[in-house]
């Protein structure tokens, strides 16, 4: 059996799809190919349960001739958009498509009518492959770090934080980035949390967060290091894997932290865990502590996010308790 699994983006969604990749490989003995966007292919290239990865920049026409030569038996479409539809039309293989529950999300965002299923997205992804005979194995998420991307965090701390002869301490990984500003704590609250934490803090994010990370580190104290924009994704994942605890917004590194079974403090703004994308652990494990402001009539204001709060008050993040977060981080 030869399968094509489609998930174009983003970091978190691809990591959340890894139980499907693992299940069809291990349980069905299938040859597993994946189709994604070029910026995310490294996540799948490192995955030992994938046999081949195809990647596009923008259009599926970039790879369609190659895909047609593979003669797939089945397609598992975990993206279910126009691009993936073009792939299915072009390949003519039997396809199983993920239900994105867009109508249910629209009802909750716009009318505050809750018809969401009480089901994590991992299980909804998995349901897409169940007609083929695959089922969730209870083992959680996968993320594989290439050996060359492992980071010697002890050396970082020794160079930047520690006094001579001081033993390398535990540290907090603080993922300050997110795709949209309404999913992120304001910089002054990040600074306040970092100041109150009595252990080293490593700030993580992409190049877009580099300047904010610098400002936070400058304001918060010498125990805070700005790693934003300095490492690639797998190197950042290595820093997350070695951390004592991880604090993160609703973003891809949060799901990578869950793949490593880390203690997570997840902070939620305009999005809500009920959308089904909270940290996902193996069966019998739950090491996540959720911080959110419940009872706001405007929340969720979007299933994705905005550049700024539509109401102007940003209460969903402004009213998050910094002190309670610090208590959990230092517990």
* CATH code for position 267: 3.40.50.2000
22 and 261 Cβ atoms separated by less than 8 Å? no
Predicted pLDDT at 238: 98
Residue 144 falls inside a structural domain = no
243-279 CB burial, b ≥16 within 10 A, e <16: bebbbbbbbbbbbbbbbbebbbbbbbbbbbeebbbbb
Q: Do both 201 and 314 map to the same domain? A: yes
What is the C-alpha to C-alpha distance for residues 171 and 140, in angstroms, rounded to an integer?
A: 24
- Helix 233-242 to helix 153-160 angle (10° resolution) is 80
183 and 271 Cβ atoms separated by less than 8 Å? yes
Residue 113 falls inside a structural domain = yes
Q: Is 147 exposed, middle or buried (0-12, 13-18, 19+ CB in 10 A)?
A: exposed
Predicted pLDDT at 169: 80
pTM of the model: 0.96
Per-residue pLDDT tens listing for the chain (331 residues): 999 999 999 999 999 999 999 999 999 999 999 999 999 999 999 999 999 999 999 999 999 999 999 999 999 999 999 999 999 999 999 999 999 999 999 999 999 999 999 999 999 999 999 999 999 999 999 999 999 999 999 888 988 876 666 677 899 999 999 989 999 999 999 999 999 999 999 999 999 999 999 999 999 999 999 999 999 999 999 999 999 999 999 999 999 999 999 999 999 999 999 999 999 999 999 999 999 999 999 999 999 999 999 999 999 999 999 999 999 999 8
Residue 270 falls inside a structural domain = yes
What is the C-alpha to C-alpha distance for residues 296 and 238, in angstroms, rounded to an integer?
A: 36
**What is the chain's alpha carbon radius of gyration, rounded to the nearest angstrom?**
21
What is the C-alpha to C-alpha distance for residues 50 and 18, in angstroms, rounded to an integer?
A: 10
* 12: containing domain: 2-132
162-209 per-position pLDDT tens digit: 666 667 789 999 999 998 999 999 999 999 999 999 999 999 999 999
Residue 145 falls inside a structural domain = no
Measured at the CA of 246, the angle between CA 242 and CA 252, to 5 degrees, comes to: 100
51-79 per-position pLDDT tens digit: 999 999 999 999 999 999 999 999 999 99
Predicted pLDDT at 213: 97
Q: Do both 274 and 248 map to the same domain? A: yes
Q: Do both 174 and 104 map to the same domain? A: no
Q: Do both 182 and 317 map to the same domain? A: yes
Predicted pLDDT at 159: 84
Q: Do both 123 and 155 map to the same domain? A: no
Q: What Cα–Cα distance (Å) separates residue 86 from each residue in 61, 68, 161, 278?
A: 9, 12, 52, 30
Q: Do both 182 and 261 map to the same domain? A: yes
Residue 142 falls inside a structural domain = no
Residue 138 falls inside a structural domain = no
SS3 string of the chain?
CEEEEECCCCHHHHHHCHHHHHHHHHHHCCEEEEEEEHHHHHHHHCCCCCCEEEEECCCHHHCHHHHHCCCCCEEEECCCCHHHHHHHHHHCCEEEECCCCHHHHHHHHHHCCCCCCCCCHHHHHHHHHHHHCCCCCCCCCCCCCCHHHCCCHHHHHHHHCCCCCCCCCCCEEEECCCCCHHHCCCHHHHHHHHHHCCCCEEEECCHHHHHHHHHHHHHHCCCEEECCCCCCHHHHHHHHHHCCEEEEECCHHHHHHHHCCCCEEEECCCCCHHHCCCCCCCCCCCCEEEECCCCCCCCCCCCCCCCCCCCCCCHHHHCCCHHHHHHHHCC
- What count of Cα atoms within 13 Å lies in the side-chain half-sphere of residue 5? 33
Phi/psi region, residue 49 (left: phi>0; alpha: psi -120 to 50; beta: rest), is alpha
Q: Do both 189 and 68 map to the same domain? A: no
Q: Do both 126 and 169 map to the same domain? A: no
194: its two tokens: 């970092």
Residue 90 falls inside a structural domain = yes
Predicted pLDDT at 167: 74
Residue 141 falls inside a structural domain = no
Q: Do both 57 and 109 map to the same domain? A: yes
Please give the backbone phi and psi of residue 290, each rounded to the nearest 5 degrees, phi first.
-95, 135
| Domain count of the fold of the chain | 2
Q: Do both 214 and 250 map to the same domain? A: yes
Q: Do both 307 and 193 map to the same domain? A: yes
Q: Do both 271 and 155 map to the same domain? A: yes
Which of 86, 105, 132 is at the close of a domain? 132
């Amino acid at each position: 059996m030869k399968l094509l699994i489609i998930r174009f983006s983003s970091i978190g969604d691809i990591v959340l799809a890894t139980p499907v990749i693992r299940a069809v490989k291990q349980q069905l003995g299938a040859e597993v190919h994946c189709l994604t966007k070029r910026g995310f292919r490294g996540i799948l290239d490192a995955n030992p349960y994938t046999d081949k990865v195809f990647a596009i920049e923008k259009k599926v026409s970039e790879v369609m001739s190659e895909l047609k030569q593979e003669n797939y038996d089945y397609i598992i479409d975990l993206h279910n958009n126009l691009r993936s539809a073009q792939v299915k039309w072009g390949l003519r293989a039997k396809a199983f498509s993920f239900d994105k529950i867009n109508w249910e999300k629209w009802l909750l965002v716009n009318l505050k009518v809750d018809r969401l299923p009480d089901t994590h997205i991992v299980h909804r992804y998995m349901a897409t492959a169940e007609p083929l005979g695959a089922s969730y194995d209870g083992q959680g998420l996968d993320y594989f770090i290439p050996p060359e991307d492992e980071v010697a965090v002890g050396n970082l701390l020794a160079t930047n934080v520690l006094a001579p002869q001081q033993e390398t301490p535990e540290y907090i990984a603080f993922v300050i980035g997110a795709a949209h500003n309404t999913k992120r704590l304001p910089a002054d609250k990040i600074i306040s949390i970092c100041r109150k934490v009595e252990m080293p803090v490593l700030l993580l994010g992409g190049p877009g967060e580099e300047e904010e990370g610098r400002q936070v580190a400058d304001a918060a104290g010498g125990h805070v290091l700005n790693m934003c924009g300095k490492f690639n994704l797998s190197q950042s994942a290595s820093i997350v894997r070695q951390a004592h605890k991880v604090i993160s917004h609703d973003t891809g590194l949060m799901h990578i932290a869950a793949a490593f079974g880390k203690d997570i403090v997840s902070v939620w703004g305009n999005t809500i865990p009920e959308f089904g994308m909270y940290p996902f652990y193996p069966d019998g494990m739950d090491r996540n502590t959720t911080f959110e402001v419940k009872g706001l009539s405007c929340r969720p204001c979007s299933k994705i996010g905005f550049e700024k709060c539509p109401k102007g008050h940003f209460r969903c993040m402004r009213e998050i308790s910094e002190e309670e977060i610090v208590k959990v981080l230092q517990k």
